[in-house]
Each structure stands twice: as C-alpha cells, then as structure tokens.
Amino acid sequence: MSGRAVLAAWLLCAGLLAATVLALRLHEPTPPPLFHGAQIAVIGSSQTMYGIAKQGTGTTGLTGDGRSHYRIGLPAISEPESLALLARAINERTPQVLIEVWPLVYDLQALQDRGRCDQPGRTARIAAKRAQLALTDAVGRLLRTATSTQDGGDPLGPGVDLPAQAATAADGYALVPRPTCAMAQLDRLADRARAQGTQVILLAPPRSAMAEQQLGPARTARLDQAARQLATRLQVPLFAPASPWPDSRFVSLGHMGHAGRARLQADLRAWLRDQPTAGPQ
C-alpha cells in the first residue's frame, strides 16, 4: 500500500471516529456531573487514590464542616488527563479543587519518553486520545459500564494494613523531574477558576522514607522546589506535608495504607480549615 493510501485510510478512520463521537453525544442522555455535585473535587494519581477516601459528606468529608468531596485518582495519570479533569471540575463550578501536583512536574522513568514535552506529534496524540476516550466514554455511559474517569473505587478495604512493602521493593522509585508541558493551558484554567470563585489547591502527597532514600536528596529537593514554584506561578495554595513519613504508613513505596491515609486526611482537614474561602474576582 502506498503512503498516500495509508494517509487516506488514516484520515477516513479519523473522520468516522469524529462522526461517531458527534452522533453519540447528540443522542446520549446528558451525563451526570463528573464530580457528582460535590463541593470539593480531588484529582490525582494512585497516590491520591490511596491517600484520600473516594467520597465523603458532612463529618466524613475532608473538611468535616458539612461540605462533601469526591475523588478521582487514576493510576499513572498523565498531565493531559490531570488538566482535562481540572477543566471538568471548573466547568462544573466546583467550589474547591485539590489537584495532585506530581503528575504536573515529573514522570515515571518508564514513561519518560511518552511524557516528554518536546516529543514529536505530542499534541496530535493527545487530541486523538481525547477523541478516543470521548467515544468509549459515550458508549460506556449508554451501556452503563465503566468509563475512563472511574478509578475503581477505594483500594483500601476494611481491616488492618498489609505489612509495609517499602523496605523490600525490588525496583527503584524512578521519577524524572520535568517542566510542566501545558503551562499556558494550566495558566488559563487557574485564571478561569479564580474569576468564577473556584479555589484550586495543589496537593503533594508525602513520600515514604524508603522512597525518599531511593530518590536521593538532590532529586527530592528538585521535586519539592518544582511543586513550590508551580504554586507560586499559578498563585494557588500548596498542601505539602513534610516528607518523609515512616514506611509503616505505606503499603508500597508510594501508596499509603490505612495509617497513612488517616494521618493525611487529618492533616489536610486541619490545613483546609485555615484556608480563606475563594470568591469571584
């Protein structure tokens, strides 16, 4: 098959995909709010999924003052996925949004090439991925099956923690600091949130002692500095408990157990109570 024929086939597939997405969106019922009308949206990776309960209302919410929260934590979440969820929370006029900072300032070593800001075709691949997810999510809603924004619920069941695995982890905590790729988009989202009275807060889950040891002091300092610099750039608060935390509060290098979650949520609740309430500007 010639190069021209291959290109024509790709363009035909893209056109069919776009037409299918449009048709499904026109005929599917209006989807419910992604964050279920909660007053606090929580967005992050599996670190956030383990660190913060799926949802809570009243005294079980993050603030304990009657407000509700709803968490979406996607394993190995990418920067584009994080920003798409942030945009949804802002569109739903959620009063407060906590978004994990780490996916915006680092990549896992194994995903470094995929996440590079200067990777050729990055923008086109992001757009294609969004179109694909729009299609599969529309089908999922119609069939009442899982969609790309469902994180599987709460990974921590009732009972005691598993024995901490951090000290016996076989592979290193391979994180590669990098600049935020879509900084202009993130700036616009932060400005829009401020204008409508939505408060955006960056969340930096703490690291285990073994994770910090494997990172080393130089990389640890770079990551922490990147989080602070991003918060300053966006003019938003940063919740960043001092690391490291004992390995006994974790079930893996990066994932908290019950003890870690209880401490994180208690610290976050106390911190949130001291934060001023945002209002439209």
Residues 37-57 pLDDT 10s: 999 999 999 999 999 999 999
Residue 100: helix, strand or coil by DSSP?
A: strand
Looking at per-residue pLDDT, the higher value among 204 and 278 belongs to: 204
Q: Which of the four pLDDT bands, split at 50, 70 and 90, describes residue 190?
A: very high
- Is the Cβ–Cβ distance between 43 and 72 less than 8 Å? yes
The answer to whether residue 14 scores a pLDDT higher than 90 is no
Q: Which of the four pLDDT bands, split at 50, 70 and 90, describes residue 280?
A: very low
Is 25-273 assigned to CATH 3.40.50.2300? no
pLDDT digits (tens, 9 = 90+) for 169-180: 445 566 778 889
Mean pLDDT of 178-197: 95
Single-letter amino acid code for the residue at 35: F
Mean pLDDT of 16-33: 59
pLDDT given at position 168: 45
DSSP letters along 28-89, please?
SPPPPPTTTT-SEEEEE-HHHHHHS-SEEEETTSSSSSEEEEEEEE-TT--HHHHHHHHHHH
Q: What is the dihedral of CA 40, 44, 48, 53, to 10 degrees?
A: 40
Q: Residue ranges of the domains in the chain?
A: 25-273
Mean pLDDT score of the chain, rounded to an integer?
Answer: 80
The answer to whether residue 160 scores a pLDDT higher than 90 is no
- Percent of the chain predicted with pLDDT > 70: 66
The answer to whether residue 267 scores a pLDDT higher than 50 is yes
pLDDT digits (tens, 9 = 90+) for 211-266: 888 888 998 999 999 999 999 999 999 999 999 999 888 888 888 998 999 999 99
pLDDT given at position 7: 56
pLDDT given at position 198: 97
The two structure tokens encoding residue 63? 């603030």
pLDDT digits (tens, 9 = 90+) for 85-132: 999 999 999 999 999 999 999 877 666 555 567 665 555 565 555 655
Q: What is the dihedral of CA 246, 106, 34, 235, to 10 degrees?
A: 90
